[in-house]
Amino acid sequence: MASKVIKGGTVVTADLTYKADVKVEDGKIVEIGPDLSGDTVLDASGCYVMPGGIDPHVHLEMPFMGTYSTDDFESGTRAGLAGGTTMVVDFCLPAPGQSLLEALTMWDNKSTRANCDYSFHMAITWWGEQVFNEMETVVRDKGINTFKHFMAYKGALMVQDDEMYASFQRCAELGAMPLVHAENGDVVADLSARLLAEGNNGPEAHAYSRPPQVEGEATNRAIMIADMAGVPLYVVHTSCEESHEAIRRARQQGKRVYGEPLIQHLTLDDSEYFNKDWDHAARRVMSPPFRNKQHQDSLWAGLASGSLQVVATDHCAFTTEQKRTGLGDFTKIPNGTGGLEDRMPMLWSNGVATGRLTMNEFVAVTSTNIAKILNIYPRKGAILVGADADIVVWDPAKEKTISAASQQSSIDYNVFEGKHVTGLPRFTLTRGEVAIDDGAVKTREGHGQFVAREPYQAVGRALSTWKELTAPRKVERSGIPQSGV
């Protein structure tokens, strides 16, 4: 295959910044150094050459709340590439009672249209012997080493504590890592019913029904359950200080707990719900909801200090028409917002350009940390010889105003409408192919391949001292009453 040389740029990785050309061939990085030559030259002067973004959390064409999320593997990955993202991780979501392997076949069929590489997390939406058994096949034969648990969506996707504890233990045995959507679904259900009974049926009530406490409580609970099961834990869409605080504390105690803020929570706040027209607010209904500025500051501090490790989108895009199914009842507004195309430019503009993040931290939280946590480093997330040539040539001077009129996503609005961003891809390469060429979209449907992820080596060890307490032991109780203690 013909080679390409990315010439005259500055390589920026999670830990280094240096001038070099990067040569790619047969989908891989083959050489890094000065004055390289190749069949094609991509001019990177004035640009940063970085590992392509990895979005660890997207929902493409997902059956949810009576409908399907509108961006599919084609439009979703095209949107990602336009914004410098070269890999996505989607959630395979079995219907409660459905075989995990059967659901996976459905996801395999949908994902053949992907323009860039992708992987899956498996959701545990119900529990039983079949799920327990199929988890082993999913890990050993299907290349999936992460299992998502919804602590919310009562009566639909939510799992109970006993199910979560059993599944976490199974993850520990298999070398897999559990993920949690941490919101107390019982409290959300009660608050929602009360708000509706009081006549609060608009989209702003969605925010009132899911206060930070429900997220903080669930995050703490999941961390403790993971600790007892002896597995690491990945908390998706960490949106508030209460949840961040639980993660921070766990990490200080030596527990392997990861937190994932979304670009939406970092840059948009809860004023989007109040004194706004119905459509504006409903388009921004997602779970967890947007928070106030103090919570945003907490998330930015977490990224800078390392207590939060990755930035995702939870891209789950619904049209205005789909959102309007919830007119008169906020609990029926399909939950979800888009962000795949905007994650990297919005994080650069609001993070690097403002001095809140260094360029190297930007690479870490959009790509390298994610590849490490998901066990695909350094094939992904690296500018190294031998790594996949998933590369973004980032032009820090290129700018635009975000608008639905010019986006790749198939929906009719954009939650970042009107935001001005500086810093955009000049080129995005997916396994060596130029998908974005100075603004021109040259994506190729079906180019994307499934990335299998190996089980973890370190999992299965206790994360804290709790394990000692579980060992059966004889307790000496001289002088203490033997019953009723």
CB of 287 to ligand DUC, least distance (A): 4
Determine the interface stretch with Zn ion among 12-20, 66-74, 311-319, 448-456 (rule: CB under 5 A). 311-319
Instruction: State the number of binding residues for ligand DUC (CB under 6 A).
Output: 8
Binding of Zn ion by 55 (CB under 5 A): no
In contact, 463 and 232? CB cutoff 8 Å: yes
Residues of this chain, 270-289, that bind ligand DUC according to CB under 6 A: 286-287
Would you say 337 or 368 has its CB closer to ligand DUC?
Answer: 337
CB of 334 to ligand DUC, least distance (A): 8
Would you say 149 or 419 has its CB closer to ligand DUC?
Answer: 149
Please enumerate in sequence order all residues whose Cβ is within 8 A of that of 50, keeping only pairs 6 or more positions apart, or say none.
11, 12, 13, 84, 362, 363, 367, 383, 391, 392, 394
Binding of ligand DUC by 123 (CB under 6 A): no
Other beta carbons less than 10 A from residue 105's beta carbon: 10
* E-strand stretches of 362-406: 391-401
Binding of ligand DUC by 335 (CB under 6 A): yes
Would you say 181 or 210 has its CB closer to Zn ion?
Answer: 181
Interface pick for ligand DUC out of 78, 149, 181, 283 (rule CB under 6 A): 181
Q: Is the peptide bond before 288 cis (omega within 30 degrees of 0)?
A: yes
User: What six digits make up the tokens of 272?
Assistant: 């989007």
Residues of this chain, 310-329, that bind ligand DUC according to CB under 6 A: 314, 316
Buried b (16+ CB within 10 A) or exposed e, 391-401: bbbbbbebeee
In contact, 51 and 425? CB cutoff 8 Å: no
Interface pick for ligand DUC out of 56, 336, 338, 448 (rule CB under 6 A): 336
* Separation CA 131–CA 126 (nearest Å): 8
CB of 237 to Zn ion, least distance (A): 6
User: What six digits make up the tokens of 298?
Assistant: 């907490």
User: What six digits make up the tokens of 133?
Assistant: 């058994």
* Separation CA 342–CA 414 (nearest Å): 10
Total H helices, total E strands in the chain: 16, 20
Q: What are the distances in angstroms from CA 204 to CA 108, 313, 337, 361?
A: 37, 21, 15, 34
Encoded one letter per residue, x for contact with Zn ion by CB under 5 A and - for no contact, window 167-186 reads --------------x-----
Residue 286 contact partner, candidates ligand DUC, Zn ion, none, CB within 5 to 8 A by sort of partner? ligand DUC
User: What six digits make up the tokens of 447?
Assistant: 């180019």
Would you say 66 or 472 has its CB closer to ligand DUC?
Answer: 66
The 8-class DSSP code of residue 456 comes to: P
Would you say 204 or 314 has its CB closer to Zn ion?
Answer: 314
Residue 329 contact partner, candidates Zn ion, ligand DUC, none, CB within 5 to 8 A by sort of partner? none
| C-alpha triplet 37, 38, 40: angle, nearest 5° | 125
Give the residue at shortest CB distance from ligand DUC: 286
CB of 370 to Zn ion, least distance (A): 15
Give the residue at shortest CB distance from Zn ion: 181
Would you say 339 or 425 has its CB closer to Zn ion?
Answer: 339
Would you say 20 or 89 has its CB closer to ligand DUC?
Answer: 89
- Among 345, 346, 208, residue whose Cα is nearest residue 289: 208
Question: What residues line the site for Zn ion (CB under 5 A)?
Answer: 181, 314, 399
Question: What residues line the site for ligand DUC (CB under 6 A)?
Answer: 59, 181, 286-287, 314, 316, 335-336
